C-alpha cells in the first residue's frame, strides 16, 4: 500500500477501506484530480457533487459541494498536504488552502488516498484519520463504510464509462 513512510493506521481512530479494482491506476488518478471527473462520482447517489475545485499542490484547495435530493447542501473545503502523482493524495478538512486552520468542527479528518498498481488493475486504499476515537466512531456510525464504498463503486463505474 502506498502510505506515507512510517505511517501505520491506528485501529481506534482511523477508518480504512481497501478494494482491488479492475481499472488502471492512471485512470483513478485522473478521476481524483480533475474537478469535472470528481463531480461525476464523489457523492453517493442520490446526492450529487455540483461543484468541485482543485488546486493540486501542497497547500492547494480541495473543495466539493454535495447536494441532497431535497436540495440540502454541504460544503467541504480542505487543503492538500501531500501529492505523489499516480500513487497518493493526502488532504485534510482541518485546514483551508494555504494551510490555514479551519474553525474546529466535530468531524475534521485527514484522508489518505492510495493508488497501487497490481496485476488485475489497482489496489485502492482510503484511510480517514480522526483526532479522537469518538470522532472515528461518529463518522463510522454516520455511514462511512457504506458511503465511501458506494463512492468507490461510482468511481469505478465512471472510469469504465469514460475510457
**What does the alpha-carbon distance between residue 137 and residue 68 come to, in Å, rounded to a whole number?**
23
- The model's pLDDT over 28-54, given as tens digits with 9 standing for 90+, comes to 999 999 999 999 999 999 999 999 999
Is residue 131 within 8 Å of 104, Cβ to Cβ?
Answer: no
Instruction: Give the H/E segment covering residue 54.
Output: strand 48-54
CB atoms within 10 A of CB 21: 21
What pLDDT does residue 1 have?
52
Look up the pTM and report it. 0.92
Structural domains of the chain in order of their starting residue, each with its CATH number: 14-162 (3.30.530.20)
Residue 5 has pLDDT above 80, yes or no: no
Q: What is the pLDDT of residues 66-123, one digit of tens each?
A: 999 999 999 999 999 999 999 999 999 999 999 999 887 768 899 999 999 999 899 9
Identify the three-state secondary structure at position 60. coil
C-alpha gyration radius of the chain:
15
Residue 58, CB half-sphere, CA atoms under 13 Å: how many?
5
Q: Which residue has the higher pLDDT, 3 or 94?
A: 94
Greater model confidence, 143 or 105: 143
Amino acid at each position: 500500500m502506498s502510505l506515507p513512510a512510517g505511517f501505520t493506521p491506528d485501529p481506534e481512530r482511523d477508518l480504512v477501506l481497501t478494494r482491488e479494482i479492475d481499472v488502471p491506476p492512471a485512470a483513478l488518478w485522473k478521476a481524483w484530480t480533475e474537478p469535472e471527473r470528481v463531480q461525476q462520482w464523489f457523492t453517493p447517489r442520490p446526492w450529487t457533487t455540483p461543484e468541485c475545485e482543485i488546486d493540486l499542490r501542497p497547500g492547494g484547495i480541495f473543495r466539493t459541494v454535495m447536494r441532497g435530493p431535497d436540495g440540502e447542501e454541504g460544503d467541504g473545503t480542505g487543503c492538500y498536504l501531500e501529492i505523489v502523482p499516480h500513487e497518493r493524495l493526502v488532504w485534510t478538512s482541518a485546514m483551508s488552502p494555504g494551510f490555514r486552520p479551519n474553525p474546529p468542527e466535530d468531524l475534521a479528518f485527514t484522508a489518505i488516498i492510495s493508488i497501487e498498481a497490481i496485476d488485475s488493475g489497482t489496489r485502492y486504499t482510503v484511510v480517514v484519520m480522526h483526532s479522537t476515537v469518538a470522532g472515528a466512531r461518529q463518522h463510522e456510525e454516520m455511514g462511512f463504510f457504506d458511503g465511501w464504498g458506494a463512492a468507490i463503486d461510482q468511481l469505478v463505474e465512471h472510469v469504465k464509462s469514460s475510457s
